[in-house]
């Protein structure tokens, strides 16, 4: 049996950051209501509590952040951060997981260093950890990475100001907590309902296999944290021998609705649109031969890992690929083709041909 822990409240600081950085970019779902078997009005009513919560939090947080210019500058997300998440958010999470420094490395040093030991930075795909002792070593390391220049500069800025940034994060966290508390009543009932569902024996399997198609090989402990602003997403952190899942409060219900309506015209159009892109089609061809890491695909396609991640996220959303976390290799993530999805798509297209044949037979 999988050991799991359920955190009973969202992280209010994360919610404030996400409301501020996402703004109106988080509601494309309003245009895709048919995929979920809902009318436009039903979808608007469904999303409205989250929208109002995020609006109120963003309005107040936008004022509060003016007192923290260094943080504000780092919260203007680069293209890489739009795919991978804000480096401030990642740095903050690392600070929460690290209790103290080790040897010559302070807590702040380790929180930053952990950011460099992610798959998208690992050119050699080895298990050897990266450590930097000063800004010169960091620059030397980044020169060898296939990252956008703006993101490299962002990492350098954070490293140079890591002590100040840490102090500002802790001060802003208290302010953000007070801001979120004022609006939490708008969505608290939704969070409570989802927490009840999280206790169900099959809830974890449902999230992992239906929501974003993640299969663990040797997972041990799982921690679930409800998320409001990222209501339709599932985020994951690998920490030592455990996994931390940031579970959107609507993700499971939306996946159920999508699965119940997977054969409608809107879904078929979305499925075909996802693979109409040349790069994504090439990626499917590559994954049909073997499972691959982001870096491997980036090298073969001669693209940056950030660009590959963008396309992979689209294919993941449409369930064309499966994401697997391999705990035997420092929790590296690899991707493989989802044959069931392609078989389902081919059946949908064949159904169109069958309908046409049936129509012609009736006419004759």
Q: Are 61 and 176 in contact (CB under 8 A)?
A: yes
Residue 298 scores a pLDDT above 80: yes
Give the H/E segment covering residue 106.
Answer: none
Distance from C-alpha of 28 to C-alpha of 126, rounded to nearest angstrom: 38
Distance from C-alpha of 317 to C-alpha of 320, rounded to nearest angstrom: 8
Residue 53 main-chain phi, psi, to 5 deg: -60, -50
pLDDT (tens digit, 9 = 90+) per residue, 52-84?
999 999 999 999 999 999 999 999 888 778 777
pLDDT (tens digit, 9 = 90+) per residue, 226-271?
999 999 888 887 776 677 889 999 998 988 888 787 767 777 888 8
Domains of the chain, start order: 10-186 (no CATH), 262-363 (1.10.10.10)
- H helical segments located in 119-260: 135-143, 149-160, 162-183, 188-198, 203-206, 251-260
pTM over 0.75: yes
Tell me what the pLDDT averaged over the chain comes to: 83
pLDDT (tens digit, 9 = 90+) per residue, 312-346?
988 988 889 988 766 555 556 789 898 888 888 88
pLDDT at 236: 80
- Banded pLDDT at 122 (limits 50, 70, 90): very low
Residue 355 scores a pLDDT above 70: no
Q: Which residue has the higher pLDDT, 4 or 364?
A: 4
- Banded pLDDT at 29 (limits 50, 70, 90): confident
pLDDT at 13: 97
Percent of residues, the chain, with pLDDT higher than 90:
40
Give the H/E segment covering residue 292.
Answer: strand 292-293
Mapped onto helix, strand or coil, the DSSP state of residue 245 is strand
Residue 218 scores a pLDDT above 80: no
């Amino acid at each position: 049996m999988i050991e799991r822990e359920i955190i009973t409240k969202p992280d209010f600081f994360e919610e404030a950051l996400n409301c501020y950085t996402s703004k109106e970019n988080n509601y494309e779902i309003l245009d895709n209501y048919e995929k979920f078997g809902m009318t436009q009005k039903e979808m608007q009513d469904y999303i409205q509590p989250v929208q109002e919560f995020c609006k109120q939090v963003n309005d107040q947080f936008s004022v509060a952040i003016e007192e923290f210019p260094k943080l504000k500058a780092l919260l203007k997300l680069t293209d890489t951060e739009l795919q991978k998440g804000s480096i401030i958010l990642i740095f903050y999470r690392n600070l929460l997981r690290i209790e103290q420094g080790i040897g010559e490395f302070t807590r702040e040093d380790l929180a930053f260093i952990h950011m460099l030991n992610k798959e998208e930075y690992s050119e050699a795909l080895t298990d050897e950890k990266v450590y930097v002792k000063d800004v010169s070593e960091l620059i030397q390391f980044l020169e060898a990475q296939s990252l956008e220049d703006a993101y490299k500069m962002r990492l350098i800025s954070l490293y140079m100001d890591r002590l100040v940034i840490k102090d500002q994060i802790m001060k802003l966290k208290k302010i953000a907590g007070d801001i979120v508390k004022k609006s939490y009543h708008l969505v608290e009932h939704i969070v409570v309902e989802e927490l009840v569902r999280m206790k169900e024996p099959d809830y974890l399997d449902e999230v992992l296999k239906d929501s974003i198609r993640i299969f663990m090989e040797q997972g041990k402990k799982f921690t679930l944290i409800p998320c409001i602003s990222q209501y339709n997403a599932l985020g994951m952190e690998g920490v030592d021998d455990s996994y931390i899942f940031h579970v959107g409060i609507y993700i499971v219900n939306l996946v159920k609705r999508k699965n119940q309506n997977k054969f409608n015209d809107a879904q078929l159009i979305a499925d075909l649109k996802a693979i109409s892109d040349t790069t994504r089609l090439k990626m499917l061809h590559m994954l049909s031969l073997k499972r691959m890491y982001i870096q491997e695909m980036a090298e073969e396609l001669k693209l940056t890992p950030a660009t590959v991640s963008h396309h992979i996220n689209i294919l993941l959303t449409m369930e064309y690929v499966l994401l697997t976390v391999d705990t035997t290799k420092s929790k590296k993530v690899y991707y493989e083709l989802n044959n069931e999805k392609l078989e389902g798509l081919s059946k949908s297209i064949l159904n169109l041909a069958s309908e046409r044949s049936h129509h012609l037979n009736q006419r004759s």
